[in-house]
Amino acid sequence: MFYIGCHLSVSGGYEAMGKTALSIGANTFQYFTRNPRGRGFKRPDNDDVAALNDLISKNGFAPPLAHAPYTFNPASADERIWNYSRDSMREDIEVLEDIPGALYNFHPGCHVGIGAEAGIENTARLLSEVITPGQNARVLIETMAGKGSEVGGRFEELRAIIDRVELTEHIGVCLDTCHIWDAGYDIAGDLDGVLSEFDRVIGLKRLCAVHLNNSLNPCGSHKDRHAKLLDGCIPPEALVRVTRHPALAELPFILETPNDDAGYAQEIAWLRAAQK
C-alpha cells in the first residue's frame, strides 16, 4: 500500500482532519499536537478521537503522525526550556495512548553553544525520562538540516541519541527529504548510497516515516526551506524515486510542502500517478 498524506491543521478537531485527508486523496496525515509556536495545551475530546479512529480503520489509513511543536528544545542546557519540553512531551504521548499505532515526531533540538555532544546527551536524557515501557506511540527523531546549532544533521548524531536511551523499541526515525538534502545527503544523485548509509549508521528497521519535501536550496546548504515537490532544487523524479524505493515501501509519506489543501491534492494525485 502507498501511504501518502500531508500536514493538516488540528484546529477543527481530530475527525475533521481525517475528513480533510479523505477529501484530498490522502490515506494518512500529520498534525501539530499543540500550537507550534505557542504554549497552550488543550486535551482533545474523547468522542472526537474515537470518531477519527473509526474513520482511520474504515478507510485503511496508516496511523497519523503527531508532530511536537517548535517550542520544544530537548537539547537545551536551559533547565526551564528542557523541563517544559519534557513535561509537554509526556502530555503529548499520553494523549496518543488513544490512537492505535500513533507515531510521535520531534526535532532533537539545538545545542545553542554547549556543543553537539552535550546537546545529544540532553536529548537522550529527555527521551529516557519520557518513554515508558508499555506506551502505545512510537517516538520518532527527525533528521535535521544541520542549520545553526541543530542536532541531528548527521545520521551519526541520531544514532548517538538512540544509543544513550534504554527503551529503544519505542524509538524510531523520521527521514525528511528536504532536511537530509540540505544536510548534504545527495538523494538525487545517489539515493541507494544515502539509504545504505542510513542503514549502516542507524538501521533501516528504525525508519518509520518520511517527510517528503523539496528544498529551495542546493544539497549541503544547511538552510531548511521547504519547497513544493515540482518547485525546488531536488529534481522531482528523484522524489518519486524515494516514494518507489523498495526499502521504503509501506512507510507513510507526509508532505510538508508550502501548499493549501488544493495544492496538496495535486501533489498527492501526481505521486499516486507516478506509482503505476
Closest CA to 220 of 180, 270, 254, 191: 180
The C-alpha cell that represents 235 in the structure block: 529534481
Q: How far is the CB of 106 from Zn ion (least distance, A)?
A: 13
State the number of binding residues for Fe ion (CB under 5 A): 3
- What minimum distance in Å lies between the beta carbon of 92 and Zn ion? 19
C-alpha cell at position 63: 496511523
User: Which residue, 92 or 224, has its beta carbon nearer to Zn ion?
Assistant: 224
Q: Site for Zn ion (CB under 5 A): which residue of 224, 229, 234, 264?
A: 224
Work out whether 176 is an interface residue with Fe ion (CB under 5 A): yes
Write out the H or E segment, with its range, that includes residue 212. Answer: strand 207-212
The nearest distance, CB 108 to Zn ion, in angstroms, is 13
DSSP state of 62: P
- Nearest residue (CB) to Fe ion, 122 versus 257: 257
| 224, interface contact from Fe ion, Zn ion, none, CB < 5-8 Å by kind | Zn ion
CA pair distance 39, 132, nearest whole angstrom: 24
Q: Counting contacts by CB under 5 A, is residue 182 touching Zn ion?
A: no
At closest approach, how far in Å is the CB of 68 from Zn ion?
13
Those residues with Cβ within 8 angstroms of residue 117's Cβ, 6 or more apart along the chain or in another chain: none
Span from 90-98, 187-195, 217-225, 261-269 in contact with Zn ion (CB under 5 A): 217-225
**With respect to Zn ion, which residue has the nearer C-beta, 49 or 66?**
66
- Interacting positions 127-146 with Fe ion (CB under 5 A): 142
- Please report how close the Cβ of residue 215 comes to Zn ion at its closest, in angstroms: 9
Binding pattern for the stretch 194-233 against Fe ion, x by CB under 5 A and - elsewhere = -----------------x----------------------
DSSP 216-250: SS-TT-----EE-TTSSSS-HHHHHHHHH-GGGTT
Number of residues that bind Zn ion (CB under 5 A): 1
Q: How far apart are CA 226 and CA 48, in angstroms?
A: 31
The total number of residues written for the chain in this structure: 276
* Residue 211: closest CA among 273, 164, 143, 156: 143
Binding partner selected for residue 211 from Fe ion, Zn ion, none, CB under the kind-specific 5 to 8 Å limit: Fe ion
Q: Which residues contact 58 (CB under 8 A, 6 or more apart)?
A: none
Residues found near Fe ion in the complex (CB under 5 A): 142, 176, 211
Residues found near Zn ion in the complex (CB under 5 A): 224
